[in-house]
Amino acid sequence: MATSSAGEPAKKRTADGKDVVSGVQPPPKKTRGKVIGEGGEWLAKHSLRLILIAGGAWVLSWIVGKAWVVLLPVVLAVIVCTVLWPPVRWLRKKGIGPAAASALVLLLAIGVVVGIMAAIAPSIVDQSGDLASQAIDGIEEIEEWLQGPPFRVSDEQLNTAVDAITGRIQDSSTTIASGVFSGVTKTTSVLITLFTVLFLTFFFLKDGPRFLPWLRRTSGAPASEHIAEVLSRIWATLSGFIRTQAVVSAIDAVLIGAGLVILGVPLAYALAIITFFGGFIPIVGAFVAGALAVLVALVGNGPWTALIVLGIILLVQQLEGNVLQPWLQSKSMNLHAAIVLLSVTAGSTLFGIVGAFLAVPVAAVVAVVLRYLNEQIALRAGETDVADDEDDNVIVPDDGGTEPQAT
């Protein structure tokens, strides 16, 4: 390149009087058509990729739907194992064999549940007769209320209404019978699933520690280390979910149970225990337990007490749904409260009770996988900091080893 006496690139003047540096060519200009074409090419390429990803997700969901009868007991057994594994691990460290430790803890857990049921059974039996007589008195009071002002319903009109309801039930006997048989079938399916979950829980507790070593041997490096790390994080996340759900259910049971005891509602302790177990079944469990408490208060204490109980239940449910559950689950599962609310809403809408129960764990598992992918992308991009709120401090590199994450 030609230079001036001062060592700078030589300049020459163009016909329009502008100075340009000799030997330097201006970058070629792109036409609008070329720019639009490149943008369209990029959009088409990534749109095709998104379509392929969506198609793969649809195929995966179809496979899961077909195999759901098998997958559901496995998922439930894994969730139960997250609760029972700490005592099993402690017993194994004390020298008890895997099978004996797993069987002992599982039997103790079953015994606790059965013991709680047996503890509330006597109070239910003792007070059921009084509740039945109070229910009859309540029905008579409703009849007298309907016959008085302002309704003025006569005995003949009441009898006509009862006869109409009876006739409607008799006309629908076929539908009711089919519904009963369908309910029996569903109950049988639930019992089969329950026993399957128990057996799978025993085997998972007994042989679970062998799974990751087997997985490493089978898949080989470097994929084995990535899979093992993700599964370990998923296990920790599911453990946090169960602990959080237990805390939320316990708070509900204590607050509602205290209100029932103060108001003198019959079967207060039994209703509190039902509320606790109902908390593990989102939406329907809380609704059924609350409706039962209001019904018992109505029959045993009258309409004003029932209204107060209803107000207490609604207040506690609002506290749980809008404050406790989103906040605690967002802390234990590292999920934003909005994600928790949206996942429960979507799961219950699409898949009912089971979807509502599994929505938050599934969302947390997806979040774990996405965070791990983010870490690997940051590692391959040469970034020293990973913008993530997770406490994990290990990134698995390509060679299958581990190295600390830069902080």
pLDDT at 53: 92
**pLDDT above 80: residue 106:** yes
pLDDT range class, residue 281, cuts 50, 70, 90? low
Residues 166 and 299 in one domain: no
**One domain, residues 287 and 155:** no
Final residue in a domain of this structure, among 138, 171, 204: 204
Res. 182: pLDDT tops 70 = no
Distance CA 73, CA 79 (A): 10
- Say if residue 40's pLDDT is above 60: yes
Q: Higher model confidence: residue 52 or residue 386?
A: 52
Q: What is the mean pLDDT of the chain?
A: 75
Contact indicator for 240, 331 with CB cutoff of 8 Å: no
Q: According to DSSP H, which parts of 220-264 are helical?
A: 223-263
Residue 228 is part of which domain span?
A: 220-393
* pLDDT for the residue 188: 62
Q: Say yes or no: 224 and 355 in one domain.
A: yes
Do 255 and 148 have their domain in common? Answer: no
Number of Cβ within a 10 Å radius of residue 81? 23
Give the C-alpha separation, 238 to 80, whole Å: 10
Q: What total of structural domains would you count in the chain?
A: 2
In this predicted structure, what is the pLDDT of residue 179? 47
In a domain, 110, yes or no: yes
Asked whether residue 255 falls in the same domain as residue 177, the answer is no
Domain boundary among 141, 176, 204: 204
d(CA 134, CA 95): 57
Q: Is the pLDDT of residue 269 over 90?
A: no
Structure tokens at 25: 């060519």
* 115-163 per-position pLDDT tens digit: 877 877 777 677 666 666 666 666 666 667 677 777 677 767 767 776 6
194 and 343 belong to one structural domain: no
Q: Is residue 69 part of a domain?
A: no
pTM of the model: 0.62
Alpha-carbon separation of residue 21 from 5, 7, 13 (angstroms): 15, 13, 9
Same structural domain for residues 273 and 381? yes
Question: Does residue 199 fall inside a structural domain?
Answer: yes
Helices (H), 67-172: 68-93, 98-147, 155-171
